[in-house]
Chains A and B, each alone.
Chain A
Amino acid sequence: MAAQMRRLVWPLLVLVALLAANAVASPGFFAVTVKGGRLYGSLVDILHFGAPLLLIALGMTVVIALRGIDLSVGAVVAVSGAVACEIIVAAGDPSSPGTVAGAVGTALALSVLLGLWNGFLAAVLRIQPIVATLILMVAGRGLAQLITDGQITTVTSEPYRRIAAGSLAAVPYTVLMAAVTVLVMWLALRRTALGLFVEAVGGNAEAARLAGIRATGLSVAAYAFCGLCAGLAGIIISANTGSADGNNAGLWIELDAILAVVIGGTLLTGGRFSIAGTVLGAVIVQTLSTTVYTMGVPPESALVFKAVVVFVVCLLQSPRFRAQVAAPFRRGGPPVPAGGAGPPAPEEEDGAMPTATGDGRPDPREVRR
């Protein structure tokens, strides 16, 4: 646990630095106000607009921990939004809560189905996950365009709009949905044995299978969960704009999600994962987008700016880089003899060990414990 926390220190520092830079550039950055029963402010915006990314990153975390990857989440975002909007538009009464609930339910169910499809390809048929999910990444966007007829479908439905704009006890629904998902996921993975199974299968699938864990079923379930998260994110994104855009909704969000997971310390090689790390990673990625606006970075340099910050985070997470940077500042550290012709401190070493090297009777075993 302590080691896991330590790994989060550097991303946390980067987040603090980003927030500080924002505060300097725009003095009212930390201000949070309540207007019309809902919280407003830059910090709230980060969480509100970051919610879809966070949801997707959470699903992606489990998939990556199981040594998979899901490139199709962006396409699922588009499909989910398109399905929900088309159902609402086609319904007789777009403003009835029942219609909206049905539309959202259908969209989420379809998203789970798409996730199961990914899981079937990757875990059952053992197609490499990148290739398996690439299929849906391309096909899903095509599907979304078919559903919307290649147009941007706009909906005017108050209950649907409220999914993104509404709030409970001043907290936006979007933030609540993300928070509840984090909580549910933590309970499901860390309070049951699921998390252990995920880490075991991700760390060594064959060993886990021989220990009696249903590795294949677990992977399929993870892809289905990832699909569900992407579907929910799709609903939020579409409700936010009141429209479904088969072309651009969720475009490239899979890359941001993978980035968030990796910044959070979950390795792409599978095994150990960190939910807290993913939350942190997603917030950093979203803060970065916000920073581009508050700092007034010209749009043509925005991508380069983002890349530089990500590069810095990656450097800070590399133990090798940290050691190199820290070396000149460390004074009086342990001597590192070259082991050449004249090692500098053999006397000291000799004095440190018992003189009876040969007989071994004073039981060195005890000393070593």
Chain B
Amino acid sequence: MDTAAEPAVHMSGIVKDFPGVRALDGAGLRLEPGEVHALLGENGAGKSTLIKVLTGVHRPDAGSIEVDGRPVSVNGPQDAERHGIATVYQEVNLCPNLSVAENVLLGREPRGRFGISPRRMNRRAAELAAGMGLDLDVTRALGEYPIAVQQLVAILRAVDLDARVLVLDEPTSSLDRDEVRILFDLVERLRSRGVAILFVTHFLDQVYELCRRMTVLRNGRPVGTFTTDELDQRGLVGLMLGEQAGELDRVEGRAHDGAPPPDAPPLLHARGLGRKGGVAPYDLDVAPGQIVGLAGLLGSGRTEAVRLLFGADRPDSGSVEVDGRLLSLRTPRAPIGAGLAYCSEDRKAEGLVADLSVADNLLLAMQAARGWMRPMPRKARAELVERYISALRIRTASPDTPVGALSGGNQQKVLLGRWLIMRPRLLILDEPTRGIDIGAKAEVQRLVAAEAEEGTAVLFVSSELEEVLRLSHRVVVLRDRRVVSTLDNDGGLDVDGVLAEIAEGGAR
């Protein structure tokens, strides 16, 4: 192993211009061998751009990159792999139809006398997996495994490359707690072998758990590099946000001020609602102005439960009443007509139409409700769009910008805006703050609390228990695709209490 005191990677003075925007302005990074280093900043701070410069996706306009003390120019992802830099992206970019072994060794298949030897390939992949403490059948198609395992396979690929630098770009945002554990164990093993690991994430808890040093970017400029001992989470958030640091404080403790009267008649009344393979029949009441949080592990049936209410999936048992009137759940149209709104957890696949403009996306649900015969008058349209762009603080060059060009947080706000425009009576939000930066997150939470105070009922699905507890009046806990308990959040409830329910609730 290399014992030189040279940093594994040293980037300095990196400048990268995109048309009209300077994405990086003198940014840099110093990665030591055998450390896990966090790269932090809001969405749009330049984290992804800096990573893409390091991995050769973008060419920098100025600045230098040194690997093991030698200046290099990285001319594309394959060149980066040649320099020993491997990357695992948030969205796994492997081939789900190929086997695990084929994915791990793609492009470097072991050869026998008759070309590629499947036997040796499977053996090599199995060795790698075993070496990392993973129990996998490497001959099965990658797509048969959950997303977490796919991410681990992507890391195995990096291990086989004998990478000295591993970049993890938001690897944990779609993993549940146990899966994060396995990933962290793997990262720790690699670290102890002297691999330098760059970790990009929105989860600050994970940063403090895994990393010793962190580099903070803001607006494409370096704010500084700190150790986790000298800077606590609150200070870190302050550095990431700059002047916006007060945001989070304003949200905290907000939810309980305007709790609805306990005897308010329910707006939504669901009985025995269920779908085979989705979620077991459950009951749910939500009153106007009430925020009900749905907690549970990934795959516990949270998303499936709320999709039934909206008619996004067709339930095969049970009924839903809004104001005592039975809803048809064959399509989302009747629920929308009754004042329900649903923001899917998967913005890209089920929320926004990336090619359409911000304005069109904002008005899509309203226009669908009006019908195709009655287009919105141009002036009313412009006013409404203008109002919601500024009320939600959506950062976009113009209302006509394709929504796909916006950052994740702003896209989320557009999706939220689409339904707020409808003045919904029940707002169903599935992971509205996943994958967005902390400033946007605070704004989304603030908006949800404000909506509830005006009398909107809210169903709130989130993997972050702190968030669920901060916002909800009541918490519904799901486990193994059934509702196991409903807890009142009246001050006596804390994260540990909910965790206990998630772990063993419903054993009544």
Contact = CB atoms under 8 A, between A and B. Distances in A.
- Do these two chains interact? yes
A27 interface: no
Given A210-B344, A212-B368, A360-B218, A191 B375 contact: yes
A213 B364 CA distance: 9
Interface string A189-227: 001111011011001101111111110000000000000
A212 B356 CA distance: 16
Given A338-B59, A340-B71, A343-B62, A200 B219 contact: no
B223 A360 contact: yes
B352 A204 contact: yes
A203 B354 contact: yes
Contact of B372 (A193, A211, A341): A193
B367 A193 contact: yes
B69 interface: no
A207 B352 contact: yes
Interface stretch (B121-129, B295-303, B329-337, B477-485): B329-337
Contact of A341 (B73, B370, B373): B73
A339 B73 contact: yes
B368 A199 contact: no
A199 B355 contact: yes
Contact of B364 (A208, A271, A349, A363): A208
Contacts of B72: 340
Contact of A211 (B219, B354, B364): B364
B217 to A, nearest CB: 11
B21 interface: yes
Contact of A349 (B61, B368, B370): B61
A199 B61 CA distance: 37
Interface string A257-288: 00000000000000110000000000000000
Contacts of A332: none
B496 interface: no
Interface string B343-379: 0100001111111100010001101111111111000
Nearest to A348: B62
- Per DSSP, chain A at the interface is loop
Given A207-B352, A212-B365, A339 B60 contact: yes
A175 to B, nearest CB: 29
A358 B59 contact: no
A204 B402 CA distance: 14
Contacts of A333: none
A327 interface: no
B353 A209 contact: no
A341 B371 CA distance: 60
B455 interface: no
Interface in B67-118: 71-74
B63 A213 contact: no
A364 interface: yes
A204 B352 CA distance: 7
Contacts of B369: 212
B25 interface: yes
Contacts of B312: 210
Interface string A166-199: 0000000000000000000000000111101101
A92 interface: no
B25 A353 contact: yes
A277 to B, nearest CB: 15
A143 to B, nearest CB: 33
B356 A364 contact: no
B223 A192 contact: no
Given A343-B64, A346-B13, A349-B15, A214 B355 contact: no
A209 B355 contact: no
Contacts of B243: 363, 365
Given A208-B364, A343-B63, A193 B375 contact: yes
Interface residues of B, number: 55
B344 A211 contact: no
A363 B219 CA distance: 10
B434 to A, nearest CB: 17
B127 to A, nearest CB: 38
B10 interface: no
Contacts of B376: 193
A336 B61 CA distance: 7
A360 B71 contact: no
Contacts of B164: none
Contact of A193 (B62, B351, B353, B370): B370
Interface in A348-369: 349-350, 353, 357-358, 360, 363-365, 368
Contacts of A200: 353, 356, 360, 364
B350 A360 contact: no
A339 B368 contact: no
A213 B370 CA distance: 10
Contacts of A271: 353, 355
Contacts of B350: 204, 206-207, 210
A16 B61 CA distance: 40
Contacts of B62: 337, 339, 343, 345-346, 349
B133 interface: no
A343 B372 CA distance: 56
Contacts of B351: 207, 210
Interface in B207-249: 218-219, 221-224, 242-243
B355 A272 contact: yes
B355 A364 contact: no
A209 B372 contact: no
Nearest to A271: B355
A192 B373 CA distance: 6
A224 B273 CA distance: 37
Contacts of B331: 209, 214
9 contacts: A199-B360, A211-B365, A213-B368, A339-B65, A340-B73, A343-B60, A346-B62, A360-B242, A368-B21
Interface of B: 13, 15, 21-22, 25-26, 59-65, 71-74, 218-219, 221-224, 242-243, 310, 312, 331-333, 336, 342, 344, 349-356, 360, 364-365, 367-376, 418
Q: Give the 3 A-B CB pairs with smallest separation, nearest first.
A: A340-B73, A212-B368, A203-B353
Interface of A: 191-194, 196-197, 199-200, 203-204, 206-214, 271-272, 336-341, 343, 345-346, 349-350, 353, 357-358, 360, 363-365, 368
Given A204-B352, A337-B62, A363-B243, 18 more contacts: A193-B376, A196-B360, A196-B364, A196-B367, A197-B368, A199-B353, A204-B354, A207-B349, A208-B364, A212-B336, A212-B368, A271-B355, A337-B59, A337-B60, A339-B61, A339-B74, A341-B73, A358-B223
